[in-house]
Every structure is written in C-alpha cells, then in structure tokens.
Amino acid sequence: MNHEHLENVLRFHGHLCPGVAFGYRAGLYALKEFGAAQGTLRDTHIVIAENEVCGLDGIQIMTGCTVGNDGLLIQNIGKQAFIIIAKKDGHGLRVLLDVPLWDSEHPLMLHAKVKSKTATPEEKKEFFALRTKRGQEILSMTDDELLKVFTASYPYTEKIRLFPFKTCDQCGEAVMSPLIKEVKGKYLCQSCEK
C-alpha cells in the first residue's frame, strides 16, 4: 500500500469510508496491471464507473482519469465496479468489489438519519466510527479477498467537447453553441429560455 497516494485520496475525498477505500484499491490494482504511475492512466485509458458515490474520488486520483478531462464516464447501475479500458483498442478490465460495501444495513440506517438531520449526536458518532472501521477493513484486505476482476471491452470514441461560443441575447453571457437555442429569432441560453 502506498501511503502517500492514499493520503492524497483521503485529502481529496475528505474522509475514509468503504467507498473511497474501494475506489483507491481498484485504481491501485489498475496501475499495477497496466504498469502505470499514479495519475498517469489518463493518457492511455478511460474509466467507466458503474456507480456515482465515494469511490469515484479514489479512482480519479489514482488513475488521473477525471470527469473534467473526459477520462471518466459515469454509467450508474448501482454496482461497486469500475471498468478501465485502453483508448487505443477499447479493451481492458472490469474491477468489481467482491465483498459487501457495508457489513450490515445498520450503518446505512444511521447514514440516512445523518443526512436527514434526525440523528442524535451518539448516532452521528457511531456512523462516523463504523464508516472509518469499514474503510480500514477494505484497505487491509488482499486483492484476492477484495476484488473480482474480469476482462472487459467498451466501444470508445473520442468526442468533441469544445465548440465556438454564441452570446445569449437576453443575459449577454457566452454559451457553447450546441447548447443555445434560437427562439423567435433570438438566441437564448437554457436559463433564459425557461
């Protein structure tokens, strides 16, 4: 385990939890498999995430494939899995968490109470303690215990993301041209069109 990388992940995410621990481990596994240094897979690979929770931060820091650099696609189907594929041929790996993210539903019940601001101070404390504990458990397991790895392929094509700007006739702000609409001879952004 590389503690410097883990520290970067935790600083970015803000806490240790099972999700970010899995994202870190899946990213670490991909770096080992593809012989890449931390943060450099963005040059050669993209990541497809099958969830949109904490693990995203771990996989982004470890691989360097981020939402902002178009290296991370989120296809949330509610699974703790990441697909890492090569841009050049669309082949790669799918890394699935092979243990339960949480070891019971109790912390999830506490989480719901924390989020809806109905948790007592004791329940809050208990949730944070259980979250840290499960995160540490996931960090301490071996790859064999923790992960199930499949070969995967995904049809990858680069997409154009930069376009010329047009000015909205109402608010005067610049808008990427595919996202501005012409309404009765006026160009309107989506905020002004409402």
In the complex, which residues of this chain contact Zn ion (CB under 5 A)? 17, 19-20, 54, 168, 170-171, 189, 192
Task: Enumerate the β-bridge partners of residue 94.
Answer: 83, 150
Question: Residue 135: is it exposed, middle or buried by C-beta count within 10 angstroms (0-12/13-18/19+)?
Answer: buried
CB of 35 vs Zn ion, minimal distance in Å? 29
Of 123 and 169, which has the nearer Cβ to Zn ion?
A: 169
Of 32 and 186, which has the nearer Cβ to Zn ion?
A: 186
CB of 30 vs Zn ion, minimal distance in Å? 20
CB of 158 vs Zn ion, minimal distance in Å? 30
Contact 109/85 with Cβ under 8 angstroms? no
Of 87 and 133, which has the nearer Cβ to Zn ion?
A: 133
Q: Distance between CA 84 and CA 135 in Å, rounded?
A: 23
Of 9 and 30, which has the nearer Cβ to Zn ion?
A: 9
Question: Residue 194: is it exposed, middle or buried by C-beta count within 10 angstroms (0-12/13-18/19+)?
Answer: exposed
CB of 164 vs Zn ion, minimal distance in Å? 17
Determine the 3-state secondary structure of 57 from DSSP. helix
